[in-house]
Amino acid sequence: MDGLLSPLSYDFMRQALVASVLAGILCPVVGTYLIVQRMAMLGDVVAHGVLPGLAIAQVLRLPMLLGAFAMGLCSTAVIAWIRRQSRIQADTAMAITFSTFFSLGITLLTVLQTPISLEQVLFGDILSIVPQDLWQIALITVIVLTGVKLFYKELLFFTFDPLGAEALGLPVQRINLGLTAALTLAIIAGIKTVGVILVVALMVGPAATAYLLVTELHWMMIGGAGFGVLFGVIGMYGSYYLDLPSGPAIGLTVFVGFLLALLFSPRQGILTRGLRRRMAGE
């Protein structure tokens, strides 16, 4: 019990744990839609797409959230524009946009000499989170989860059958914009905890772990959020006791959890499938 309570004696650990719980709930819920739509790479694009927005907002003395949100949406608009104007497929358009926005972000952060630490942006600095950051992450979490709750049926239909949703008269463009906005907000919330590079791991990993264990979308969201919280807390305690960077510790914990599900999932586990085949052969 002392091992669980000892880190809580420090303010920075309490705040970091709350942030990891909030991000662990928010990111996998949004990541569920990316996995089902086979668009997990889009999370990586948007995560790196917000970098120029951070630099521009700092120079113009605008809220960092506003700059990151605008450039995150801009990155998805560029992908859509490339696909409309050419025969380029989605994965190629995302790769081009990813590298371009990432390069632009690093260039602006360097040339404009902003006080933003590139290392903190890339790898996160959850231990430096202050109450103001927690309120921001909490507000984003409430907004996104409320939107998912209110429009769950429309999002479900659009996710599995976008053409059918359009044929029935659903506002497909607005639904897609809403998903993009939710994705961008979730990434902004996650960047502070694990950074640009690892935020996609927190978004996709827990949701993918749940995907191996359940079959329905709402259970995938609930399971993904539960795994996100579990992996985040374990990663934070691991970083505390093993003296590891917090963001990478959470990222490695996410992978270990996914690997266990991949091996031992009752329906899709590699080892359980082999066991069932041997039992059937007997």
pLDDT digits (tens, 9 = 90+) for 270-279: 888 767 777 6
Residue 282 confidence (pLDDT) above 60: no
Nearest to 262 by CA among 195, 197, 201, 213: 213
20 close to 235: Cβ distance less than 8 angstroms: yes
Q: Is there a domain that residue 277 lies in?
A: no
| Weakest-pLDDT range from 147-151, 167-171, 202-206 | 167-171
Instruction: Give the pLDDT confidence score for residue 170 in this predicted structure.
Output: 82
Q: Is there a domain that residue 55 lies in?
A: yes
Backbone dihedral angles phi then psi of residue 171, each to the nearest 5 degrees: -75, 80
Instruction: Give the pLDDT confidence score for residue 227 in this predicted structure.
Output: 95
Q: Is there a domain that residue 197 lies in?
A: yes
| Angle between helical axes of 11-36 and 40-60 (0-180°, round to 10) | 130
Give the Cα separation of 68 and 20 in Å (integer). Answer: 20
Spatial neighbors of 17 by CB under 8 A, at least 6 apart, are 7, 8, 232, 233, 236
Residue 201 confidence (pLDDT) above 80: yes
Q: Please give the residue that has the higher pLDDT: either 44 or 235.
A: 235
Q: Is there a domain that residue 244 lies in?
A: yes
Indicate the number of domains in the chain.
1
Q: Is there a domain that residue 178 lies in?
A: yes
Q: Is there a domain that residue 282 lies in?
A: no
pTM of the complete model beyond 0.95? no
Calculated CA dihedral for residues 250, 258, 212, 200, nearest 10 degrees: 50
HSE on the CB side for 133, CA within 13 Å?
Answer: 22
Instruction: Give the pLDDT confidence score for residue 165 in this predicted structure.
Output: 80
| Weakest-pLDDT range from 71-75, 193-197, 213-217 | 193-197
Q: Is there a domain that residue 199 lies in?
A: yes
Average pLDDT rounded to a whole number, residues 205-229 = 92
Distances (CA, A) of 2 to 61, 190, 240, 250: 45, 29, 14, 22
The label of the residue with tokens 């609930």 reads 222
- State which residues form the domain around 221: 2-264
Query: What's the CATH number where 78 sits?
Result: 1.10.3470.10
Distances (CA, A) of 154 to 157, 172, 195: 5, 9, 31
Spatial neighbors of 23 by CB under 8 A, at least 6 apart, are 137, 189, 190, 193, 194, 202, 228, 232
Most confident of 88-97, 139-148, 160-169, 268-277: 139-148
Give the Cα separation of 107 and 52 in Å (integer). Answer: 8
Q: Is there a domain that residue 227 lies in?
A: yes
Nearest to 154 by CA among 140, 141, 168, 142: 168
